[in-house]
Amino acid sequence: MERNEISLHEVKVYRVFKEHSKAWLTHKDIAKISELNERTVRAHTLRLVRSGVLDQAELFPAHRYRLSQKADKRNKGYMQRLLEADTIFASVPV
């Protein structure tokens, strides 16, 4: 189920992927870059995968994630809200 609200933490996770669009990142990588708790990062990457924004590679010992090139096509409405939230939160650094 998709939510309408987009949090600052969700935007911070998205910004990491926007800035590292070609890279496959682990939760630890994302947490380090975004300065968020790893548990928070896990919750938001799951949400972004389910929304079609991120691609997921199920690898051992840690799954990897990257920004999907098809995000706009998979979930246009959510992507528009996410980009709008990114603009609104623009004054908040990653």
Q: Which residues on adjacent β-strands are paired with residue 20?
A: none
- CA–CA gap between residue 81 and residue 34 (Å, rounded): 20
Q: Which structural domains are found in the chain, ordered by start?
A: 8-88 (1.10.10.10)
pLDDT in tens, 10-56: 999 999 999 998 999 999 999 999 999 999 999 999 999 999 999 99
Contact 34, 16 (CB under 8 A): yes
Peptide bond into 61 cis (omega under 30): yes
Q: Count Cα neighbours of 83 within 13 Å in the Cβ-side half-sphere.
A: 9
pLDDT for 81 equals 94
pLDDT for 69 equals 92
More confident residue, 74 or 93: 74
